[in-house]
A = this chain, B = another copy of it.
Amino acid sequence: MKIIKDSVHDHIQVDGVARDLLDTPELQRLRNVSQLGTVSLVYPSANHTRFEHSLGVYHLACEALEHLSVEGTRAERVRAAALLHDVGHGPFSHNLESLTHRRTGRYHDDVHELLTDGAVGDVLRDNDLEPAAVADLIAGEGRFGQLVSGELDVDRMDYLVRDAHHTGVPYGTIDHGRLVRELTFADGELVLAEGNVQTAESLLVARALMNPTVYSHGVARISKAMLRRAGERLLEAATTDIDAETLQRMDDHDLIVALRSCESTTEFSRRLDHRDLFKRAVWAEIDDVPGGVIEASHETIREFEREIADRADVDPTQVILDVPSRPSMTESTTRVMVNGDVRQLGQQSPLVEALRAAQYSQWRLGVYTPSALRDRLGRAAVDVLGLDIDGALVSEVRNGLDATLDQFVE
Chain A contact residues, CB within 8 Å of chain B: 1-8, 10-11, 14, 22-23, 25, 28-29, 31-32, 40, 43-49, 51-52, 55, 165-171, 173-175, 177-178, 181, 193-195, 198, 201-202, 205, 209, 212-213, 252-254, 256-257, 260, 273-276, 339-340, 349-351, 353-355, 357-358, 361, 396-397, 400-401, 403-410
Contact = CB atoms under 8 A, between A and B. Distances in A.
Contacts of A400: 194, 339-340
Contact of A410 (B2, B276, B355, B405): B2
A167 B5 contact: yes
Contact of A23 (B14, B29, B31, B276): B276
A276 B24 CA distance: 10
How many monomers of this chain does the complex have?
4
Given A5-B168, A44-B52, 9 more contacts: A3-B408, A4-B410, A6-B45, A10-B168, A47-B49, A170-B174, A205-B205, A254-B260, A351-B355
A50 to B, nearest CB: 11
A85 to B, nearest CB: 16
A4 B169 CA distance: 11
Contacts of A167: 5, 7
Nearest to A361: B350
**Which of A170, A178, A212, A357 has the most chain B CB atoms inside 10 A of its CB?**
A170
A237 to B, nearest CB: 17
Contacts of A6: 44-45, 168
Contacts of A7: 43, 45-46, 165-168
A50 B327 CA distance: 37
20 contacts: A6-B44, A7-B46, A10-B168, A11-B178, A11-B181, A23-B275, A23-B276, A28-B273, A31-B40, A32-B256, A44-B52, A47-B47, A47-B48, A195-B408, A198-B213, A201-B358, A254-B257, A340-B400, A350-B354, A351-B355
A6 B46 CA distance: 9
A340 to B, nearest CB: 6
B407 A2 contact: yes
A34 to B, nearest CB: 8
Contact of A274 (B28, B166, B410): B28
A25 B351 contact: no
A29 B273 contact: yes
A46 B166 CA distance: 11
A46 B252 CA distance: 17
Contacts of A166: 7
Contacts of A340: 396-397, 400
Contacts of A409: 2, 4
A45 B8 contact: yes
A3 B205 contact: no
A275 B28 contact: yes
Contacts of A213: 198
A256 B256 CA distance: 11
Contacts of A260: 254
